[in-house]
Amino acid sequence: MIGLLRPERFLLFRSRVIILFLLIAGLLSACTTTVAPPSMPQLPAPEWGSSKLIESISQRWSQVHSLRALARINYAGPEGKHGFDEAVLVQRPDRLRLETLSLLGAILIVTANDKEIIGYHPREGVLVRGQSSKANLLRYTQIPLELDEITALLAGLPPVDASTPWRQEGNSLIFSPNGVRKDSVAFDSQLPVPTKWERFNPIGAVVLTARFSDYIATSAGLFPSKINVEAPLQGKKLEIRFQEPEVNATIQADLFSQQTPAHVQEVPIEMIGS
């Protein structure tokens, strides 16, 4: 189990929260061990059949249930460039814990479950609490994803619904519920694993992109130890490098919620603005 690791002071309350989730604005009873990445020849990807690609997505969704890892985060955006360490706990589909770390401990602890979203800022002595909803996740993270989509993304899975209508374009699958293009997933690798995911807005512009790379072998299948997330319309980029990720680790349920510590001010999530 990951203990609370300790931080140094972080800048603005709200901008740090946005940066934290852009790691995104997110994931067996025994922990999975990892081994060195398999050799990935730099050759053109085979022409994958659609059945193979759909099978890859469905199989990965059924194999990956949880994630416990430390990650090195490098962020670049209008606020500047930042690098920090993050403790990541994911229990799909709707439990998430993120701890922003430094040499002195955790400077921000965010938990989310199917009932509430909580952000604890130890340095400021403030705990933010709100109902779990896409609107509140958006308010807190500035990322238009549902909780189950964020946990999927952090667990190395393209956040798509494989049961919605789709079509194949080359080595990509295009998902179009209600006839509107929503997601695309590319498989440009020698192995049938996702290499890129894109989310489109209703007018067809790309709002979020994730690139999955540096796959390592685990007992739950191949896992991308590096994820690059970009919000092109906001000019924000994030690189996530997982260190020794434990896939399908057993995680205590109470780690995905927080009680208000003594002498800490609790405020509603609405106070951080829209």
**Contact partners, residue 90, CB within 8 Å, separation at least 6:** 26, 27, 66, 67, 68, 96, 97, 151, 154, 155
Over residues 105-118, the pLDDT tens digits come to 899 999 999 999 99
pLDDT above 60 for 87: yes
Mean pLDDT of 69-78: 93
Whole-prediction pTM value? Answer: 0.82
Mean pLDDT of 158-182: 94
pLDDT above 50 for 23: no
For residue 102, the model assigns a pLDDT of 87
For residue 135, the model assigns a pLDDT of 85
Mean pLDDT of 179-202: 95
Distance, CA of 266 to CA of 118 (rounded, Å):
10
Range in 40-54, 213-227, 241-255 the model is least confident about: 40-54
For residue 254, the model assigns a pLDDT of 96
| Res. 45 pLDDT band, cuts 50 70 90 | confident
For residue 38, the model assigns a pLDDT of 55
Q: What percent of the chain has pLDDT over 70?
A: 82
For residue 42, the model assigns a pLDDT of 65
| Res. 143 pLDDT band, cuts 50 70 90 | low
pLDDT above 70 for 14: no
Mean pLDDT of 184-193: 95
Mean pLDDT of 14-18: 46
For residue 272, the model assigns a pLDDT of 77
Q: Does the domain at residues 13-261 carry the CATH identifier 2.50.20.10?
A: yes
Mean pLDDT of the chain: 85
